[in-house]
Chains A and B, each alone.
Chain A
Amino acid sequence: MTIHSGCRAAAVLAVCALGVVSRAASAQTKLSGIGDSISQGYDANCPSFFICGDQPAYSFGQGTNTPLPNSMYVRSQIPTVEFVSVSGAEMVGGTNNAAAQATNLCAQAVLPDRVVLLLGGNDVCNRSSTSTMYSTTTFGNALGAALDTLAACLPPLAQVHVLSVPRVDYLYAAGVQARCTSKWCLASLFGGKCTCGLVTQGTDADRVAAGQQIEAYNQELANRVASANTAYQAAKQITFSTDWQGALPNTSVGTYAFQGSDLAQSDCFHPNYSSGQCKLACIGWTSWNGLDRTGCFSASTCAN
């Protein structure tokens, strides 16, 4: 299908619109993803700590295992999947941040026409205190650099879906509910750090402050996605979208209140494949495709 590279006049906009419709009806060819340990399915099906690590087959995005987590890849029936996600990655910091991963994605031999991005948890968990968390401006500019990088390389009619930052502060209550909080500091037995110390070892006030900052990140995320969509949909026919609908409980990844049953057996933190990853897959897929997502937040959604 040949697509106009520019849509400057109203008459041409009609052609662009037709192109979008045509694309929606045609098969997508490749799904890629930018993310962190969640996208890598870290410890998603693991009995004990330090032995599994990345398990991408159980990821909400690129997972191939069936029937659960019923990943976005499986749901999409897209023939090819190739993620560039890296465990430990942040939206902002380091050498595996969103923009660096976008650069790696743009270097793929075959470019994707669907890209899902989920980052931000480590931007919170890697900080020693709430006062040292990245500013909203810093977070937004880091995401903006990634979206600009993707827009510069993706083919016309590509779709980029940016999932909101998960509320890692909610993991505290989830861990308490699951009675597995002793696993958060297993590494400290060896002199290592506790898991997401800001959340698991912090005070209630720390968790509230972290949650408020995540909410601010997500509002900024939505603003950046909207700006990218405005800038690139007409100019390059690339669509940018997000699941964020504001701070209403259980409406997006960024407002989902994790449950004890969502957590990995190994570390009481990462999402397991049968519930946590499965719910993320459901939210990600339904929000991307304009489907009803209300059922994604119930335990029965991922019942096998």
Chain B
Amino acid sequence: MDKRIVTMTMAAAVLGAACAQRTGPDGGAKVAAAEVRALLAPEPAALAGEYHAHAAALRLFGTQAAGTPEATATLADTGTWATRSYREGEAVARNLVVETIRPGSVVLRGPDGSVELRAGADAAVRLVRHESDEAARDEGRHVWSVRAAALAKVQARRGLGIQVTPFAIAERQGLAVNAVEPAGVFDRLGLQAGDVIVAVDGAFARPGDPARIAARLTTAASDVVIVRIARGAEVWDESYVVR
């Protein structure tokens, strides 16, 4: 791959934004087989039809600890302002990887080269995602939009991906989340190791609840599952809405 560093005026072309077309039923564009073969972070054994592409603008809010193993770059999607901090080598999308984190800038590697994005600046990009990437989408305000069919494929390929330990102390009971495996069902649903599943639809959580939650979210249409989660000092209800 050409590892050019280009100016921001060329960023859209290098990062593929000029190719973006919204044609799919979910607003995403189809991705050609040739582009799938060139993906930087492909889903193992996935078919071309499982990918789609969106045009977006990313803004670099800033970087942290550049030059150290803990370096992160904080990127925001200016369409939703959803933000995430990436480490070097992490994929922003299947066709876009954080290559180098510098003080005040980040180098993004796309399909046709690399672009340096400075803090506070925007880059037009074309983001290729696999359907599993958006099997569950955090819409904000503790509401998740779940695509049942896509989540079912995640479960088939990756499993539930959660280890829990039941507890019962005084009048409290629930499930302590010991581990969450990357790209599994509960990783897609936003759970983290250290969380406590307090209740499901208002009833104290029980040992079989992770499987029951997954069963409802992968098969039922128009279902809503409300999971009360404790994280640190706070507890709140996450609403998973099947679309």
Contacts and interface: CB of A to CB of B under 8 A. Distances in A.
Interface in B171-190: 172, 174, 176-178
B21 interface: no
B174 to A, nearest CB: 7
Contacts of B140: 86, 95-96, 100, 104
Contacts of A137: 61-63, 104, 119-120
Most-contacted residue by chain B among A54, A129, A141, A189 (CB, 10 A): A141
5 contacts: A93-B84, A104-B141, A140-B62, A190-B174, A192-B195
Nearest to A53: B235
A187 B177 CA distance: 11
A92 interface: yes
Contact of B234 (A37, A103, A149): A37
Contacts of B120: 137, 141, 144
A50 B195 CA distance: 13
Nearest to A100: B81
The 8 closest A-B pairs by CB, nearest first: A191-B176, A138-B62, A195-B233, A99-B81, A137-B62, A95-B140, A100-B81, A141-B61
Given A93-B85, A95-B140, A131-B70, A193 B119 contact: no
A217 to B, nearest CB: 12
Interface in B35-77: 59-65, 68, 70, 72, 74, 76
Interface string A138-151: 11111011000100
Given A93-B84, A96-B140, A132-B65, 6 more contacts: A53-B237, A137-B119, A142-B61, A190-B172, A192-B195, A192-B232
A285 interface: no
Contact of B232 (A54, A104, A194): A194
A125 interface: yes
Interface string A34-66: 000100001000000110011000000000000
A193 B169 contact: no
Contacts of A131: 65, 68, 70
B233 A196 contact: yes
A88 interface: yes
Given A141-B59, A191-B177, A192-B194, A132 B70 contact: yes
B222 interface: no
Contacts of B237: 53
Interface string A73-100: 0000000000000111000111111011
B72 A145 contact: no
Nearest to A197: B232
Contacts of B83: 92-95, 97, 142
Nearest to A270: B233
A180 interface: no
A240 interface: no
A267 B230 CA distance: 12
A270 B82 CA distance: 26
A54 B236 contact: yes
B230 A97 contact: no
Interface of B: 59-65, 68, 70, 72, 74, 76, 78, 80-85, 104, 119-120, 138-142, 165, 167, 169, 172, 174, 176-178, 194-196, 198, 230-237
A135 interface: yes
A269 interface: yes
A133 interface: yes
Nearest to A102: B81
Contacts of A197: 232
B198 A50 contact: yes
A232 interface: no
A200 B60 CA distance: 31
Contacts of A102: 81
B139 A95 contact: yes
Contact of A187 (B65, B80, B230): B230
Nearest to B84: A93
Contacts of A195: 232-233
A145 B165 contact: no
A266 to B, nearest CB: 9
Interface in A194-217: 194-197
A47 to B, nearest CB: 13
Interface centre among A37, A86, A93, A95 (most CB of B within 10 A): A95
Contact of A190 (B68, B84, B167): B167
Contact of B63 (A138, A139, A149): A138
